[in-house]
């Protein structure tokens, strides 16, 4: 279940909280972009970068103890040396990109996701009937150079025959054929932890309160929903 569905089902957890840690108060448009298409028994799901770690975890859990070729990079401010056999490491302004090109098991990937939840996993690999491709770079702002141009859901791409995955992204209509959905995050309040004096912990523990506007088109039908949240 991705973080948007968790919010709409009121199942807020630590992963949802991590998604909003970088946001201040304000309105943030064109977030959590989704473009999905059903072709026979296969679903093709394209998304913006916000869903990358969740998609990686979904496919890694299907892979389990088996190994497969994994390419891409992990973007982090943490020192990950010794965790995996990285092909190359690049650094810019304290942010490191650990490039991967080798055989890794799904369990190893899941363990790293749990150990470094604030890192960005831009990894591409396959498991069973699931083919995941993510651009091997750090995510950037969803703004476009042309003000009239809509940002695209083209950072992550998953081909899958597991209909439950697609239905978690297009939960309004499980038997959809085509869907394009985007979200606006409206952050109205920052709820800081009481009694904490360590600035790093305050930043990590502060919750965001507001609402999400979900809108788009599913099989030519317009949708628009709002949901309040605190995470």
Give residue limits of the domains in the chain: 1-41+161-231, 49-141
3-state helix, strand, coil in the chain (%, to 5): 20, 45, 35
pLDDT digits (tens, 9 = 90+) for 48-78: 999 999 999 999 999 999 999 999 999 999 9
How far is 23 from 73, CA to CA, in rounded Å?
24
Work out the average pLDDT over 141-158: 75
101-146 confidence digits (pLDDT tens): 999 999 999 999 999 999 999 999 999 899 999 999 998 765 555 5
What local confidence, expressed as pLDDT, does residue 151 receive? Answer: 87
Range among 14-23, 172-181, 195-204 rated most confident: 172-181
Q: CB neighbours of 208 closer than 8 A, spacing ≥ 6? A: 20, 23, 187, 189, 190, 191, 230, 231
Q: What is the mean pLDDT of residues 146-155?
A: 79
Model pTM score: 0.92
Across 32-40, average pLDDT: 95
d(CA 126, CA 136): 15
pLDDT at residue 99, as a whole number: 97
- Is the CB of residue 152 less than 8 Å from the CB of residue 49? no
pLDDT at 143: 56
pLDDT in tens, 73-103: 999 999 999 999 999 999 988 899 999 999 9
pLDDT at 105: 97
Percent of the chain predicted with pLDDT > 90: 84
Single out the residue of 30, 26, 35 nearest to residue 144, CA to CA.
Answer: 30
């Amino acid at each position: 279940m991705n973080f948007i569905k968790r919010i709409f089902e009121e199942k807020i957890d630590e992963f949802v909280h991590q998604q909003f840690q970088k946001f201040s108060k304000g309105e943030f448009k064109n977030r959590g972009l989704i473009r999905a298409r059903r072709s026979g028994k296969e679903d093709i799901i394209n998304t913006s970068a916000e869903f990358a770690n969740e998609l990686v975890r979904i496919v890694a859990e299907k892979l389990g103890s088996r190994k497969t070729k994994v390419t891409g990079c992990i973007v982090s401010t943490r020192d990950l040396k010794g965790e995996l056999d990285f092909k190359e490491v690049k650094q810019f302004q304290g942010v490191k990109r650990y490039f991967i090109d080798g055989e890794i098991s799904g369990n190893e990937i899941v363990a790293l996701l749990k150990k470094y939840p604030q890192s960005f996993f831009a990894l591409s690999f396959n498991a069973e009937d699931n083919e995941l491709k993510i651009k091997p770079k750090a995510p950037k702002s969803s703004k476009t150079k042309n003000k009239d141009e809509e940002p695209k859901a083209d950072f992550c791409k998953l081909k899958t025959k597991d209909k439950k995955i697609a239905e978690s992204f297009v939960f309004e209509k499980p038997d959809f054929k085509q869907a394009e959905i985007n979200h606006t995050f409206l952050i109205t309040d920052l709820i800081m932890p009481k009694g904490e004096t360590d600035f790093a912990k305050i930043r990590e523990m502060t919750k965001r309160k507001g609402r999400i506007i979900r809108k788009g088109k599913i099989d030519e039908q317009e949708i628009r929903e709002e949901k309040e949240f605190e995470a």
